[in-house]
Structure 1
């Protein structure tokens, strides 16, 4: 299926306000999904016989900076039987309490990807089975891939900032 066909299929299932098609010059085209519907949309894309996106290749966060006050979570999907890629994005506020529904019940690999986005950006995934740091120690201060991250001077007596 082409991106416009997938967009039409999702709009018919979830309504025109939930999904919108984006085109960016020189970038992979993508669909923007409403935060509250991302898990439902992913389950639909995984289970639907015309799409069957059986692989979550990557899930990552993007910090649009303090001025924009938003994060993006990017989902790169792939349908192995149809040899088709799809990119989805969710935009959320940078507020500390912002949560995105977990897609770990759709693809097991999302467990690790979501933990990494939480660890490095502070993005929370509701319904995640074990949302805790994966790369940094549990008592690390802050989230180092945020554009407003202020690196700590010392960690347990070890100088980490030079």
Structure 2
């Protein structure tokens, strides 16, 4: 549990560390009580001698010792149950953190793919732009040649008309 707490964000970590320390101290206290109780309980004849007849059913107060033992046992079981619940909650938190991390990885890979697509689109756009520039230059060159060809054709037609007029003029005069 201590290792799991280290992976939790700082605001939650301090609260969980305090709870963990509390649970540990309760568990240690319950263990000590259990050891004392088991060390105190000798064999039946020694017990009767030690307790002076208490606890063997001959006396009304014999139930007090059994009740305190049962109370200690109940507290120990309660502490163990709380530790188990805390462990389960920590495991659930860890599982949730792993799931969140997996989702984050998927999102990052998707974003990476989208970035690559955008870079390819930008490169394609730049290439298309360069092709458009070349096409524009080619069209401008073709327009200049067309204009030149029109002028040359007009000049040739004009020269032919002048020559025809001169030939007709020379034949008539």
Same fold? TM cut 0.5 = no
Q: Compute the TM-score of the two structures, normalised by the length of structure 2.
A: 0.18
**Between Structure 1 and Structure 2, whose CA radius of gyration is higher?**
2
More strand by share: 1
